[in-house]
Amino acid sequence: MITVRGLTKRYGRVLAVDDLSFDVEPGKVTGFLGPNGAGKSTTMRAVLGLDRPTAGTALVGGRPYAALGEPLREVGALLDPGAVHPGRTGRAHLRVAARTNGIPLRRVDEVVEQAGLGAAAHRRIGGYSLGMRQRLGIAAALLGDPGVLLFDEPVNGLDLDGVRWIRGLLRRLADEGRTVLVSSHLLGEVEQTADRLVVVGRGRLVADTTTAELLRGLGSRRVRVRCARPDLLLAGLAARGAAVERVDAHELRVEGIGAEDVGEVAAAAGVPLHHLSEVRQSLEEAYLALTAGSVEYAGSDPVQAGAAR
């Protein structure tokens, strides 16, 4: 289990993490989300003892990382896939890590196969693509067969097969009872994988909840409906207090009531429906709504900028 309590980290005048508290529980994949500069990587570095907190604590199993007797056997992490010696082969890199941590060398072969490194394990790392460096970093994180794992943007550079593999790997690790914390900007992947979400903005906690609760709790229900007499249906829906938007000559977008209610209004008005569906809010929409006031590095809209000129 990872326990973060009152974590604060300053770099000079920059407040990177501000009184942050949350737990990462075993048996679940916890997604760690936030805009650029929100403090995600700094928090992970604090958990791994790479950054000393200005205040507060970041503990693994109730202890600081530095107090762990065999850290690689207890915690595995992928933070920077480029932080490896480019002149070594992938296998040599893993063998050095195994020897210095008292891990049997047979584990090197096991994680090479598990990460799908194949023949690339015998090549020098300097010639690796980003995707192969990611696989090597994940293999290194798994080397000690740890119970706690932290992955910072693990999908970067992976092809479609790699994305499917990491998705299944994260799920399996959690199902085995391990503690899994994953930072990612690919919200579609997070939505498919994460059980819980910790969302931060400008170093502070924005949300700490399950993925299902976040999607259910933000925004109203939305329904898409198509029919031949939308004006008549619109009047009936408005009378029920629904917010209705005309999409085209035959389609309405309805908010505030569910699909069953829309169907009942249509039946009462004698309006045959050609299509009726409830549109589920995506994690991307929920995330953007949550972090709208926490984006520190925002680019200008090139279309609006051009129009202004």
What is the predicted pLDDT for the residue at 282?
73
> What's the chain's average pLDDT?
90
Residue that has been written with the tokens 């992938």 in this structure: 90
At residue 180, the 3 state secondary structure works out as strand
Q: Are 68 and 138 in contact (CB under 8 A)?
A: no
The contacts of residue 265 (CB under 8 Å, 6+ apart) are 233, 236, 237, 240
Residue that has been written with the tokens 């300097």 in this structure: 126
Report pLDDT digits (tens) over 21-44: 999 999 999 999 999 889 999 999
Q: Which tokens belong to 237?
A: 């829906």
Distances (CA, A) of 250 to 208, 254, 264: 40, 13, 18
Distances (CA, A) of 96 to 48, 91, 116, 133, 136: 20, 9, 19, 16, 13
- From CA 135, how far away is CA 305, in angstroms rounded? 40
The answer, as to whether pTM is greater than 0.75, is yes
Q: What is the mean pLDDT of each run of 10 residues along the chain (309 residues)?
A: 97 95 97 92 96 97 94 94 91 96 95 94 95 95 97 92 94 97 89 93 92 69 90 93 92 89 94 89 75 64 52
What is the predicted pLDDT for the residue at 191?
87
Sheet of 243-246: strand order equals 243-246, 251-255, 222-227, 273-279
Q: Are 75 and 101 in contact (CB under 8 A)?
A: no
- From CA 99, how far away is CA 96, in angstroms rounded? 5
What is the predicted pLDDT for the residue at 291?
77
Domains of the chain from N-terminus onward: 2-216 (3.40.50.300), 220-280 (3.30.70.790)
Contacts 24+ apart (CB under 8 A), 103-110: 103/72, 103/73, 103/143, 103/144, 107/143, 107/144, 107/145, 108/143
What is the predicted pLDDT for the residue at 117?
93
- From CA 9, how far away is CA 293, in angstroms rounded? 21
Residue 113: φ, ψ to 5° = -70, -40
Cβ neighbours, 10 Å, residue 32: 26
Residue 95: φ, ψ to 5° = -65, -40
